[in-house]
Amino acid sequence: MSKNAPLSEAERFLFRTMHTQRHTELIRAEALRLGFAFVGFARAERLDEAARRLEAWLRQGAHGSMAYMENHFDLRIDPTRLVPGAKTVICLAFNYHNPDKQTDPEAPKISQYAYGEDYHHVVKGRLKALLAFIQDNIGAVNGRCFADSAPVLEREWAQRSGAGWNGRHTLTIHPRRGSWFFLAEIICDLPLAYDDPIRDHCGICRRCIDACPTEAISPEGYFLDASKCISYLTIELREEIPVDFRGKLDNWMFGCDVCQDVCPWNRFAQRHAEPAFEPHPGLLAMTRRDWLELTEDVFGAVFRKSAVKRVKFAGLQRNLRFLKKPL
């Protein structure tokens, strides 16, 4: 056969498949090098079933005062509206697990994810580096980076990409790494080799449901009433915390880790290796009295780059007042 003879359809298919597989493995290797715990690839397509679940969740008012969850509905369920011509959602996870605890058992508690610098900035920087790598090494790829910063159904894409299944507490669980990680995505117009979803492994376990201090997780799981969730009450809610929750916050002043603390899959969790996520010196040693006597200057110094700044000093003071007991 002449060297210039046109390729057959089968040869063209094989050629495309080889390139797609090579690109996929190239991206996977670079993502791991950049510090992501794992990466999966899903076909970019409209999420019709997820759209129905989201509509039902919104109708029940489970989003509380987070009115932004009602906005941009079409963008949330269709990645091609965020990136025209999108072919792939690259789903990534970044480990933040830190088993170190606050030394004073009476101190108001802070969620692990807020120990160090704000993850939005840390993870977004790695995403941009990965997208630049793709464009430099593969070609003119159009893509956008998302780290909890746009209307993207992150846990749906995580499940579709094989990064984990969404447990009864509604968080994504990886069978070898647990659930202590941030999710992030690159939506792009590059076709890649897609991963298979992971089936649900929660079985008959109900530990997260039984342990939730405010009964925010439905009796059978897989549905979270965010308006009852301690993370919502201490972070998202801008008004005063309803008195109905007095004595039910389990001493959490920012976020809540209860459902992850009790999840048996987190026995596989490993400590993160990201310097930016290390707590501010002295943070975990602050006593209950230190927190109750917190000044705005100390707040600014300790949480200068932290996600805790979302609630501002006044918001954290509100939470501390709600938890306050006589010294």
Strand partners, 185: 91, 146
Q: b vs e for 10-49, b when ≥16 Cβ sit within 10 Å of the residue's Cβ?
A: eeeeeeeeeebeebbeebbebbeebbbbbbbbbebeebee
pTM score of the predicted model: 0.92
Q: Is residue 209 domain-resident?
A: yes
Q: Is residue 218 domain-resident?
A: yes
Q: Is 148 a catalytic residue?
A: yes
Coil, strand or helix: which one is 84? Answer: coil
Q: Is residue 90 domain-resident?
A: yes
The predicted pLDDT at position 138 comes to 96
Chain mean position to CA 42? 17
Q: Is residue 8 domain-resident?
A: no
Coil, strand or helix: which one is 170? Answer: coil
Specify the amino acid at residue 24. Answer: T
| Beta pairing, strands 109-110 & 252-254 | parallel
Q: Determine the Cα–Cα distance for residues 111 and 35; give it in Å rounded to an integer.
A: 22
Of the residues 148, 189, 250, 290, which is catalytic? 148
The predicted pLDDT at position 7 comes to 55
What's phi and psi for 180, nearest 5 deg?
-80, 70
Tallying the residues shown for the chain, one arrives at 327
The predicted pLDDT at position 10 comes to 58
Q: Do residues 153 and 50 touch, judged by C-beta distance below 8 A? A: yes
Q: Determine the Cα–Cα distance for residues 87 and 96; give it in Å rounded to an integer.
A: 29
What's phi and psi for 48, nearest 5 deg?
-65, -45
The predicted pLDDT at position 19 comes to 86
pLDDT tens digits, residue range 59-109? Answer: 999 999 999 999 999 999 999 999 999 999 999 999 999 999 999 999 999
Locate all alpha helices (DSSP H) within the chain, ordered by sequence.
9-33, 48-59, 73-77, 119-137, 154-160, 207-211, 230-231, 258-261, 288-292, 296-302, 312-323
Could you list the residue range(s) of the whole structural domain that residue 154 is in?
Answer: 14-196+204-323
Q: Is residue 23 domain-resident?
A: yes
Find where tokens 């449901």 sit: 209
The predicted pLDDT at position 58 comes to 96
Q: Is residue 141 domain-resident?
A: yes
Q: What total of structural domains would you count in the chain?
A: 1
The predicted pLDDT at position 149 comes to 79
Q: Is residue 160 domain-resident?
A: yes
The predicted pLDDT at position 16 comes to 61
Q: Is residue 9 domain-resident?
A: no
The predicted pLDDT at position 1 comes to 44
Residues of the chain with pLDDT under 70: 1-17, 325-327
